[in-house]
Structure 1
């Protein structure tokens, strides 16, 4: 109920407050200053400007998780796609009886709707209720990311891939996020979650050198983090996937020496990334020839 009320509030607000005003005010709330749209220098300013641009007509197919799979299949190959078990137009159509013991459900049109399902533990009614609620929401209204507007709310069921396989969780990245500018990765965020569900993130360059800045989460530099064995393959995949864009973030993960595609993101954190030290916001901004 609370989630539905929050969505309705955002939906109604969009009828009275323009995207430009909304994005500007929220940027000021997070960063203390209004974004510069005429000649943006900071990375976060350029993300905010993209959010109110007309690029969404070009970017929308790539944020649709089902269509993004087709794009990745065409530019790389199918081997890096997580095996797809089923596609549902309505969450109510899910037949849990025919699914494996463990699997993943997610909506194609939004973010953070993913559910890792274990048939021994899940409440199927609650899962259907959650996904059905998300299907009724146009994700554009959540953060005013225009590229999500009108994306069809398909539900995907994918195989569950275990990225840890008995390894130490705090030393194995659960996701690698490749920040790519003009078709080439410059920096990689490696995300970690330990046994107590504490989240950290390190930033590396293309040679897996730990960088002296963070992008929101604390880093995990006190641990012995070895370069993933398929890191060079990940770099190659990220560069290829990003080849048609001036900036995007390509999210990949690795399991048992294999690379898997997760998603393409064009406005990460809606411009709310907190670079520390702050000058790295401008370093990233200089890499992106935009605006």
Structure 2
């Protein structure tokens, strides 16, 4: 993998028109959304029959490896790619949707699992009632990653600029790059949630890796600086024994975090939520002793995590039993 390969991959999907638009945006200091242009002019025109080939091209650009074992995957990362194409189910689409997943949690019967209170949901940016929102809140696109806006003081917010941003967010269909197809099926909304002090990245994030409905490992990420993209991570088994592997996304904690008092309950919550899925990562927070739901992640690191040490990718792959299925169902 090289930055040049990634840039070349994305440039080819922009095409000549997109490259001209990008250059003009730079030259005349006009906003140009490269992803949205690729979506409208390339990805949305792809037939579903082309998705496997597109996935292979993306994988090669991102990892430097050819996705040779897609029909008989062995490693955890390669099995993630298989699941993208062969386990694209409606329940996954519901659970990847930050709005609809609330119904899934309610049906699962987990009354003690907290969620950030929902303040509103809108199909159009023009309908967002900012006057009705409190001083602090969070805006999100329901079926995407990284489309979040934390507002701590509404009086300092440029309402019209924010409304224009939300309008753009509603045009974005997240998931084409890397074929994370679970995001493609959801009707897009802007949702507003209550801002909870501490749930903005500055506390421990417990990511529970579940294989075929059984929790196996807990990844802890914390001490994060969201501006500088720094932090620490560590993996534990269910008895809170630290593991020797990691994703290399962050440095390993020099001193492992202590076992949370309600770890057993978090594991049980993950077991309930992960029951229908070959693989899912159940992301939870622990705020003042209360367990809060984060999200359900089906394609952890988009299936291209840099697992260390060598052999970890294969060992995790052995733990994941793939279902029988048909592509694109």
Normalising by structure 2, report the TM-score.
0.79
SS of the aligned residue for 1:222 comes to coil
Cα-to-partner distance string for 1:233-257 (whole Å, 9 max, x where unaligned): 1111111100111211111111111
- 1:134 alignment partner in structure 2: 169
* 1:176-191 → structure 2 map (5 Å cutoff): 176-191=206-221
- 2:17 alignment partner in structure 1: none
Aligned-residue RMSD, C-alpha = 2.3
| 2:99 matches 1:66 | yes
Unaligned 5+ segments in structure 2 are 1-29, 324-329
Of 68-77 and 119-128, more deviation after overlay is shown by: 119-128
| Equivalent position to 1:229, from 234, 237, 261 | 261
SS of the aligned residue for 1:163 comes to coil
- CA distance in structure 1 between the aligned counterparts of 2:125 and 2:240, rounded to whole angstroms: 41
Asked if 2 retains the 8 angstrom alpha-carbon contact of 1:192 and 1:200, the reply is: yes
Asked if 2 retains the 8 angstrom alpha-carbon contact of 1:11 and 1:141, the reply is: no
| 2:192 matches 1:157 | yes
- CA distance in structure 1 between the aligned counterparts of 2:315 and 2:118, rounded to whole angstroms: 38
| Equivalent position to 1:206, from 217, 238, 241 | 238
- Change beyond 3 A, Cα 1:177–1:161: same
| 2:140 matches 1:106 | yes
- 1:270 alignment partner in structure 2: 302
* 1:1-291 → structure 2 map (5 Å cutoff): 4-14=33-43, 15=45, 18-35=50-67, 36-53=69-86, 55-80=88-113, 81-118=115-152, 119-163=154-198, 169=202, 172-173=203-204, 175-194=205-224, 197=228, 198-223=230-255, 225-290=257-322
Regions of 4+ moved over 4 Å = none
Unaligned 5+ segments in structure 1 are none
Normalising by structure 1, report the TM-score.
0.89
Of 44-53 and 226-235, more deviation after overlay is shown by: 226-235
